[in-house]
Amino acid sequence: MQGLIALLEQRVLKKFKGSFMSEYNHPYKDVDFVIKEIVEFDSFCQNAGLEDINSEFASVILNEAAKLGSEVIAPLNTTGDSQGSSLKDNKVQQADGFSEAYQQYMENGWSSLTAEEEFGGQNLPNLFGTAINEVWQSANLAFSLCPMLTQGAISAIKHHGSDSLKQTWLPNMIGGQWTGTMNLTEPDAGTDLAAIKTKAVPNDDHYLISGQKIFITWGDHQMTENVVHLVLARLPDAPAGVKGISLFVVPKFLLDEQGNTTSQLNDVHCTALEHKLGIHASPTCSMSFGDNGGAIGYIVGEAHKGLSYMFTMMNHARQDVGLQGLAISERSYQQALEYAKERLQGTNKDGSRFSIIKFPDVRRMLMQMKASIEAMRALAYVASNETDKSRYAKTAEDKAKHFSRVELYTPIVKGWLTELAQEITYLGTQINGGMGFIEETGSAQHYRDARILTIYEGTTGIQALDLVGRKTLFDKGEQLTQLLSEIEQTSVDLKQYPQLTQLAVSLENAVKTGQEARSWLLDNAQTDKSAAGSVSVNFMMMFGYICGAWMMAKSAIKSQQKIDSGEGESEFFKAKLVTAQFYFDHLLPRIQTNMAIIQAGSDSIMSLPEDQF
């Protein structure tokens, strides 16, 4: 009887902790594996001289974040989607429950994770930020954008602001009492920011800002006492184009002498909210600055350097959006897997029924989701740790080496992960069958929410251009060559394990294909000015699949070692081997298609005259 009562109580407990509703469980086993075995975080910490920080501590912190994520933030995902946010009297009202969840997020100090100690941050490695952002993003993508944008704003002020600007704005932003936004886009200036028209006029110790901004994520809300906008604008004497743009801090409420928020509104407000395909709970605002004479703003760094300041944050912001591709895929996979195990749609000879996970084609889809997600996670975390390696490097040479790797990974992480997320959330919905098309199952939301990811923070096309242009043609393919030689080394390592020789051959061939694509690009970009742009997306996707294969190969080696030594849970490592095999069988062959398309060049893409469209 006691046992029964205890069982009932555990159920009550679960319910009271929200886990019945959350539908999101942190994939701690895979995360742990990637941090320990693929990133090899412990040896990084030792080399970097980070005391007290190791993979065990990472798991403690992640465990706590995962509780908040799955029990508090995830249950708001569905309501946020159906309710969205609303605009009344120029004030944006966020979805129900978001404010309370944000309070908990703030009070538990998560906003301070990677920020500098000087301003109240915990100064933990970038990898922690990545692993923990995955939690918020999987739990509730729309919610997670608010802290993410704040992190970007913090980073801009930290890197480029004057001391007094940092003292004034950073502590409350790092503490989470104020959130931040990025005001870049204007109706006529999206990808081409050179066209920015917003004006900034000097006035005493500040500037008066006026203009219109659109697509401002979390541009207004009632969750915190203030919102700090970072705004790109032009000074009266600014040169034309990208070299004439400056960056300003513009608060929603003005501060008093002591730097506390007052009730006096600045001359900035939200004029409209966009109706969107996904991320409904994230208010996408049109912002109007200076309707009544000018919003008070303070310049960040020097005049006319705003756009280059934005570029320093770009690697981080873009990798973070890549991570969102992983996060939404994980959520979609968990939902689809649960459905596949529960949905009875087959009948045995004895009349009993079985669930759809027994069907090979459902398995194929689940395996594709699983294999993609594991490769994506490993790549996202490895790329994130490169930032740490660069930061803690002991020599300038080492620092530059890792920074170049960050630069190279960024368009791949952003482009490849978010493109893969489209396919994975599509499969998630497909596994659900008709029920996937019905909103109530939640699958459709993941599919819709994922759609923005290939667009914002630089479209897939922009990422691909970055990879072929600044990251490859610019250095004559030097970085890519280094990356490919490291991958080649892994194919040599694979050969030490008789069970993995097949993977070794495939990886070796993949490296060759990558080298061919690189050479093709370097050769043809000289003679055909449309070549790079025409092949760029296939080029980027190819390197995504090759990097993914590299990660899966490393994971196979580690798993084989664990199985051979009898250490740990063999089932988990056996599953890793199968998943790596699936990746090599089903995803890696796509690079042959990419290669064929690359070799076709720009002819059939560009030869049709415009008036034939």
Q: How many residues does the chain have?
A: 613
User: Which window, 53-61, 158-166, 223-231, 603-611, contacts another protein (CB under 8 A)?
Assistant: 53-61
Distance CA 611, CA 459 (A): 26
Pick the closer one to another protein by CB: 113 or 141: 113
Smallest distance, Å, CB 10 to another protein? 6
Q: Is 239 near another protein (CB under 8 A)?
A: no
Interface pick for another protein out of 192, 440, 486, 569 (rule CB under 8 A): 569
Pick the closer one to another protein by CB: 9 or 486: 9
Pick the closer one to another protein by CB: 12 or 194: 12
Whole-number Cα distances in Å, 418 to 223, 275, 401, 528, 543? 29, 22, 26, 29, 14
User: Which window, 11-19, 293-301, 407-415, 599-607, contacts another protein (CB under 8 A)?
Assistant: 11-19
Question: Catalytic pick from 71, 186, 374, 457?
Answer: 457
Nearest to 202 by CA among 161, 158, 233, 163: 233
Smallest distance, Å, CB 18 to another protein? 11
Distance CA 35, CA 573 (A): 15
Distance CA 74, CA 18 (A): 9
Q: What is the DSSP secondary-structure string of 331-380?
A: HHHHHHHHHHHH-EEEE-TTS-EEEGGGSHHHHHHHHHHHHHHHHHHHHH
Smallest distance, Å, CB 440 to another protein? 24
Pick the closer one to another protein by CB: 56 or 188: 56
Which residues between 17 and 46 bind another protein (CB under 8 A)? Answer: 19, 25, 28-29
Which residues between 452 and 471 bind another protein (CB under 8 A)? Answer: none
User: Which window, 52-60, 230-238, 322-330, 397-405, contacts another protein (CB under 8 A)?
Assistant: 52-60
DSSP bridge pairs for 297: 207
Pick the closer one to another protein by CB: 14 or 586: 14
Distance CA 315, CA 411 (A): 8
Smallest distance, Å, CB 285 to another protein? 29
Which residues between 78 and 117 bind another protein (CB under 8 A)? Answer: 104, 107-110, 112-113
Interface pick for another protein out of 43, 64, 91, 492 (rule CB under 8 A): 64
Catalytic (active site) residue 134: no
Q: Is 568 near another protein (CB under 8 A)?
A: yes
Distance of CA 463 to the CA centre of its chain: 14
How would you write 256-293 as a 3-class SS string?
A: CCCCCEEEEECCEEEEEECCCCCCCCCCEEEEEECCCC
Interface pick for another protein out of 21, 42, 50, 67 (rule CB under 8 A): 67
Distance of CA 51 to the CA centre of its chain: 28
Distance CA 509, CA 91 (A): 57
Question: CA 81, 69, 117: angle at the middle one, nearest 5?
Answer: 120
Smallest distance, Å, CB 89 to another protein? 35
Which residues between 118 and 137 bind another protein (CB under 8 A)? Answer: 122
Helix (H, G, I), strand (E, B) or coil at 177: coil
Smallest distance, Å, CB 110 to another protein? 6
User: Which sign does the torsion angle of CA 428, 430, 436, 437 carry?
Assistant: positive
Distance CA 340, CA 368 (A): 14
Smallest distance, Å, CB 123 to another protein? 10
Helix (H, G, I), strand (E, B) or coil at 184: coil
Q: What are 324's two structure tokens? A: 């969102």
Which residues between 570 and 589 bind another protein (CB under 8 A)? Answer: 572
Which residues between 381 and 420 bind another protein (CB under 8 A)? Answer: none
Q: How many residues bind another protein (CB under 8 A)?
A: 32
Q: Is 12 near another protein (CB under 8 A)?
A: yes
Smallest distance, Å, CB 362 to another protein? 22
Which residue numbers are catalytic?
A: 457
Residues of the shown chain interacting with another protein in the complex, contacts defined by CB under 8 A: 2-3, 6, 9-10, 12-14, 16, 19, 25, 28-29, 52, 57, 60-61, 64, 67-68, 72, 104, 107-110, 112-113, 122, 568-569, 572
